[in-house]
Amino acid sequence: MMSEQERQEHRTKMQNMNTEEERNHYRMEHRKMMEQRAKKQGKSLSDMPRNMMNERDSDHMGSGGGMGSGGRGGR
C-alpha cells in the first residue's frame, strides 16, 4: 500500500513523536488516509497484511540497543 519512502517517513514521524497520545492520533489519521487509498484501488485494509505492528516492533525490539535484559537474565 505504501512505497518504501512512505514507510520510512511514517517510521520517522512515529519515532519523533513524544507521547503515546500523539502517536495514537497520528496512527488514526494515517489509517484513515490508507483506507481512502485502498478504497480508490478497490481494496480494503482488512484485505492487506497487518505489517504496521510488525514494522514498528522490528524498529524497536531485538536490536540490542536497549537497557532491558532481552531474555539474558539481566547480564
Q: Nearest 10 degrees: CA dihedral of 71, 72, 73, 75?
A: -150
The predicted structure's pLDDT at residue 58: 43
Find cell 488514526 and name the residue: 28
Domain residue ranges of the chain, discontinuous segments joined by +: 1-41
What is the reported pTM?
Answer: 0.58
Among residues 48, 60, 51, which one has the least CA distance to residue 7?
Answer: 51
CB 11 within 8 A of CB 59: yes
Q: Give the cell for residue 40.
A: 480508490
Which residues, including other chains, have CB under 8 Å from residue 32's CB and lie 6 or more apart? Answer: none
Model pLDDT for residues 16-75, shown as the tens digit of each residue:
999 999 999 999 999 999 999 999 989 887 765 555 444 444 444 444 445 555 555 554
